Every structure is written in C-alpha cells, then in structure tokens.
Chains A and B, each alone.
Chain A
Amino acid sequence: MKTILSAAALALSLGVSSTAMAAPVKIGMITTLSGGGAGLGVDTRDGFMLAIKRAGNEDVTVVIEDDAQKPEMAVQLADKMIQQENVDILTGIVWSNLLMAVQPGAVAQGKFYVSTNAAPAPLAGKGCSPLYFNAAYQNDNLHEAMGQYANEAHKKMFILAPNYPAGKDSLTGFKRYFKGEVVSEIYTKLGQTDYAAEIAQIRASGADGVFMFLPGGMGIAFMKQFAQSGVETPVMGPGFSFSQDVLPAIGDAALGVKNSGQWSHDLDNEANKTFVDAFKAEYNRLPSIYAMQGYDAAQMILSAAAKADVKDTDAFRAELLKADFQSPRGKFKFNTNQHPIQDIYVREVVKEGDTYTNKIVGTAFTDHGDAYAQDCKM
C-alpha cells in the first residue's frame, strides 16, 4: 500500500498521469557513457530516462550500461543483459558499427531492439527484422536532405566523411539527391582531429560548397580549423555535426552553417514544447537531437507496453508499429521496414543570447522514408 501511495504521489508531483502497463517491461540500455563519444550517449540516456520518469510507472525498469564505444564491449553487455538480466528490449546504441555487432544476436534470441540513433543501411534493407525498430531515422536520411538542399545553390561540392559504415552511408545518401558535380570525395580516419590536409585540398578544389559529416570532436576540430584557414567556401552538414552537444565548443565558427534534422528545439508543436521545457527543467541544458531520439524511443516502448504484453511478441510488435505517441518532431509513422517516415528540415546555426543553437529555415523533405525499404522482405 505504501509503495502504491508513493508511486501515486510521484505521478501527481510530476503532473502527469501514469498509464497502467499490460505487464512489467525490462529495458536494457547499452550506450556510450565514457570516452570521447560520451556526450552523445549521455544525451540519449537523459532523453530516454526523461520519458520513463514522466510516465512514472514502476512496472518499467531500465538497466543502463556503458559500452565505451567498443563493439566487443557492446556485444558482451548485450549477452549479459539478455541471459542474466532477462531484459525484454534492448536500446541505446549510438554507433552503427556497434549496432551491427549487437543487433543480429539480440533479435536471434527473440529480443526487441529499438534503436535510438544508429541506423546502418543493411539493417534497413535485406537485414531488416520484425523485432528491430528504429525510432530515429535511417542513416542516409539527413545526408539525403543536404544533397537535396545543395541543389538550390551549389554546382560543385567537396564532400568528406569518416571511413566507417555510417560515413559511407552519409556520402552515398548525399550523392543520391545531389544533382551537381562532386569534385572530390574524401574519407578521413575515424577519430581524426587535424584536418589541415583536407582543408588545403578544399581550398585548391574550386568547389562552391563543402558537405561534411564529422560527428562529435571531429566536427569541432574541422569547423575551428576551417574558420582559421581563410577558405570562404560555405560548409553544410547533417544535424549531428552541428548538434546541441558540440555547438558550444565550436563557437562562432559554426554561425550560419546550414544543417539538416528531423527535429529542432524550435519546432512549433505542443509535444515539442513539453519535451524541451521538461528537459531544460530536469537537466538545465538544451536537448540535442540524440536526447529527442532517446525520448521518442522510450515513448514508443511505453505506448506499446500500455496495450500489450512484451512477452507476446506479435501483439507487442503490432502496438510498436502503430507509433501511438506524441513525437516532438510532430508527424511520425513507420515504413514497411520499421524505420520512420517523417519530415526533414534544413536548420541554421544561430546565437540566441549566449547560447548557440539551431533554427529551422526550410523543409528539405516531407514524409520522407528511405531507399532501402524496398529490399526489406518481412
């Protein structure tokens, strides 16, 4: 009785109604909480836990572990969570190479995987699975949006990305929609922090625009060095390179840069206002795109768990597919390969007071799916 009362009190104090669950759900979150990529994992976790906390339901438990951005570590953690902790759903992995290592084992053992970020092409196409959902996007999407946007003002683009699966997806996605000429296509080492050699080539290339996909510290380094190089070519990139977690460290060098996102904190809808205010109140900073994706993954799981028992795989999957939740992105539904169909926006980096952030300046795609759905046979 005491616990029920305190749970009720907690729900009241949070000002949200707690939804009854059909059955208890145990979620295993594997994400990057240490090392250079930790900022992304921390935001994923904080966004996810915000939704869980707001739901205020004691039938949901979340186990969180740090993968240190290492594939072998992620695989070990996934095995441990499935075999010892008996989790029903896995989530949280930031990096595509880690997800490629974890996802096949997880779905083979009959566990759901709901991705909060990583969305490599193979898992959206031939390797799709009824148990694998992506709450974020397909890796190519934001890059496709910049390809589409670049058509407006650019004829000759210089493009670069790190040499790993998501980097290849990135440049492939960009080229799928860009109609002009790609004067140079460069793959840099993952984790590289000095871009002087690449910037010199941009200067010499005669390109009228630069598209770069360099998440985390790589993007910070690139933008700072680019600003000092005296090269005036405009830079654009997907939202990850100019997300809330890195903007303060880039500073003025990022101002005016165009980037794409399926969400922005200034998107005008009720669910987004609730999310941004709650996140700021809880963590005292602006949410990044990763935080939003974590939040939506949790909302999605909660919405399905309210209606179906997670042990009843078919029923739970049917509820997940409905995507019956209010996403801060506004519209959201699932494609046949269980990846989102959503709008993708063009954003610009601005300074609001002392805070560097993004503002929506246009829409690149409406109801955009991905190029791999047709290869997915379920």
Chain B
Amino acid sequence: MTAALAIEQLLNGLQLGVMLFLMAAGLTLIFGVMGLINLAHGSLYMVGAFACAAVASLTGSFWLGLIASLAAAAAAGAIIEVLVIRRLYSRDHLDQVLATFALILIFSEGTRWVFGSFPLYLNIPSILQGAVSLPGGVQYPAYRLAVIAAGGLIALGLAALITRTRLGIRIRAGENDREMIGALGVDIRTLYTVVFALGAALAGLAGALVGALQSVQVGMGEPVLILAFVVIVIGGIGSIKGAFLAALLVGVVDTMGRFLLPHLLATVLPPSEAGTIGGSASSMLIYIMMAFILAFRPRGLFAA
C-alpha cells in the first residue's frame, strides 16, 4: 500500500462525509426543532437529483440543474410540511414514522409515474471533468474535490446561519423551548415551514451533487437515509456540529473499512475468502462503531 492510495482513500472518505452531512443537517434540524422523525428525507434527496437531471437535460446546463434541485426540493419540502407534516408534530413518533413512510412510497411511485422506471442521465459539468494531480503523486477526480469544497462551505454557511442570524436564534430557541418562543410572539408555524424547506433544500442539493456521480433513479434516497440516521444518532440529535463531525467520521470509517479490512484479512486468508468476509465485515463496521459510541455516550457525541 502506498501513501498516494491512502491519501486518495482519505479524500474519498471526506467526500462521502460531506455528502452525508448535507443529508444529516436537515434531518437533525427537523428532529431538533420540531421533534419529528422524517423518513421522507431520502425522497427529497431523490427529488433534487431528478430535478437536476431533468433541467440539465433540457437546458444543457448542470448549474441551472443545481439551482432547480434546490428550488424543487425546498418547494416539495414546504408543500409536504403544510399538507402533511404539520399535522404530525403533536402526534407520537410511531404516527410520524408511518406517515412519512407513506410519503416515501408516494414520492417513489409519483417519480416513476413522471419519469419512468429507467435511470436518468446526469453528467458532471465539463469544467470539472477528469482528474487533477495533487501533491504526493495523487490523481483525484476534480468533481469530488469540488464536492468536498462545496460541502465544507455549506457547513460554514450553516454554522453562521445558526449562530449569527435572527433565523438562527429562532431555530436555537425552538430547540430549547417550543411553547415559549410561540408565547413570545414568534410565528412558529412559518418557522417550522422555513426550517423544513431549508433541510429539504440541503437534501435536494446533496441528491443533485451525488446524482452526477452515481445514478439518478427511483429509490436512490433510502440507502443514504439510513446512513444519515446513523450520523445524527452518533453526532447527537439536534446538533449541527455533531452532525458534521459524525458525518466525516462515518464517511472516513466506512471508506477505510471497505479498503483496509479485506487487505488485513488477506494476510491470513486466501484472497477470495478475504474478499467475501472483508466485504461483509466492512459493511457492518459503522454500525459497530455506532454501538460502541452509544455504549459510552448514549446521547451521542454532542448531545444538544
């Protein structure tokens, strides 16, 4: 194993991490402020990817597609908040899970109805095509580097929003005491819609950014959703800082595990068995890590 390979894998882990953060940020805000478990967050990720693919193929511009993904996911988020989610805040978590699970099915089949069963084409913009050379002889795809940078910037922007703006103050107040900020005259219904739409927009952006790397297809959000839940549980529910660090941790551990475990096992087992066992073991790794962290810190790393 060379240093170049290790650096490349580390970057891969970071890139997965920032994408998970975009998903987890919305999820953790929505849970923290409104106390709502939103299983349909993965559907908003899918909506973003489909909106980006559709607009990019119509206009030929990936950047317009990105804007469309933000707009479409935020709009979808605001609409389901007003129509469905609003009725769930006072219900218990089981009702929320049932209703948002129904939303997943509605979004998936609705998307299939509009776009068909076959995956859509979405390519990365020409300016970010190909690989760039980094110090240390590392060749790395330009697009993934851009994704890391974009994710980092969004994390900074979100931190500024939460700590330095009026909206941020209201969000933090909402996390602390929902009734009190209502009593102080803050329009809590609008605040909830705005927070939900913000979370949805971040998920939609993640969907569009990842859609260009992977495939834009129905059901693409659910595997990411599971990882995003792992992230917010590890990070501490409601904490943006926790979500960011946990996302990077999960991204790096998952990527390094997939890469290192089969290698380690190959020193004691024949290659074909090492591949099978290593593959299975590495897909369990982040869940094992989550169990360990929760055993020592039951409320996550940065419990709110």
> Is B truly associated with A?
yes
Tell me the A residues contacting B by CB distance below 8 Å: 33-36, 38-39, 42, 163, 168, 171, 182, 184-189, 191, 193-194, 196-198, 200-201, 203-204, 216-217, 220-221, 224-225, 228-231, 245-246, 248-251
Q: How far is the CB of A24 from chain B (nearest CB, A)?
A: 31
> Which of A42, A189, A191, A228 is within 8 Å of B141, CB to CB?
A228
A221 touches B215 (CB 8 A): yes
Chain B residues whose CB sits within 8 angstroms of the CB of A225 once the complex forms: 141, 213-214
Say if the beta carbon of B152 comes within 8 Å of chain A.
Answer: no
Q: How far is the CA of A182 from the CA of B275 in the complex (A)?
A: 12
B141 touches A229 (CB 8 A): yes
Say if the beta carbon of B216 comes within 8 Å of chain A.
Answer: yes
Chain B window 259-276, contacts with chain A (Cβ cutoff 8 Å), 1 for yes, 0 for no: 100100000000110011
Say if the beta carbon of B61 comes within 8 Å of chain A.
Answer: no
23 A-B pairs with CB atoms under 8 Å apart are A33-B117, A35-B218, A35-B219, A39-B119, A39-B217, A42-B117, A42-B118, A184-B275, A187-B275, A189-B283, A197-B259, A203-B5, A204-B4, A220-B214, A224-B212, A225-B141, A228-B131, A229-B141, A230-B131, A231-B139, A246-B118, A246-B119, A248-B118
Chain A minimum-CB-distance residue to B124:
A228
Q: Given A228-B143, A249-B120, A251-B121, do A36 and B220 touch, yes or no (CB 8 Å)?
A: yes
Chain A residues whose CB sits within 8 angstroms of the CB of B299 once the complex forms: none
Residues of B209-242 contacting chain A, CB below 8 A: 210, 212-220, 223
Chain A residues whose CB sits within 8 angstroms of the CB of B275 once the complex forms: 184-187
Count: A-B pairs, CB below 8 Å: 137
Chain A residues whose CB sits within 8 angstroms of the CB of B123 once the complex forms: 224, 251
Determine, out of B7-15, B21-29, B72-80, the stretch whose residues face the partner at the interface. Answer: B7-15
A197 touches B258 (CB 8 A): yes
Q: How far is the CB of A158 from chain B (nearest CB, A)?
A: 11
Chain B minimum-CB-distance residue to A40:
B117
Chain B residues whose CB sits within 8 angstroms of the CB of A187 once the complex forms: 275-276, 278-280
Q: Given A200-B5, A200-B8, do A163 and B214 touch, yes or no (CB 8 Å)?
A: no
Q: How far is the CA of A38 from the CA of B116 in the complex (A)?
A: 10
- Among A185, A197, A201, A246, which residue has the most Cβ atoms of chain B within 10 A? A197
Q: How far is the CB of A279 from chain B (nearest CB, A)?
A: 15
Chain B residues whose CB sits within 8 angstroms of the CB of A191 once the complex forms: 223
Chain A residues whose CB sits within 8 angstroms of the CB of B258 once the complex forms: 188, 197-198
Q: Given A204-B2, A225-B141, do A193 and B109 touch, yes or no (CB 8 Å)?
A: no
Q: How far is the CA of A185 from the CA of B274 in the complex (A)?
A: 9
Q: How far is the CB of B236 from chain A (nearest CB, A)?
A: 25
- Interface pairs A-B: 9 shortest CB-CB: A230-B131, A220-B215, A187-B279, A196-B12, A221-B214, A249-B119, A217-B215, A36-B219, A38-B117
> Which of A201, A231, A251 is within 8 Å of B5, CB to CB?
A201
B218 touches A194 (CB 8 A): no
Q: Knowing that A220-B215, A248-B118 are A-B contacts, what are 10 other residue pairs whose CB atoms are under 8 Å apart, sorted by A's residue number?
A: A34-B218, A39-B117, A189-B283, A194-B213, A197-B258, A224-B213, A224-B215, A228-B141, A246-B119, A249-B216
Q: How far is the CB of A52 from chain B (nearest CB, A)?
A: 20
Q: How far is the CB of B259 from chain A (nearest CB, A)?
A: 5
Q: How far is the CB of B281 from chain A (nearest CB, A)?
A: 11
Q: How far is the CB of B293 from chain A (nearest CB, A)?
A: 22
Say if the beta carbon of B1 comes within 8 Å of chain A.
Answer: yes
Q: How far is the CA of A221 from the CA of B5 in the complex (A)?
A: 21
B117 touches A200 (CB 8 A): no
B141 touches A204 (CB 8 A): no
- Among B108, B117, B144, B223, which residue has the most Cβ atoms of chain A within 10 A? B117
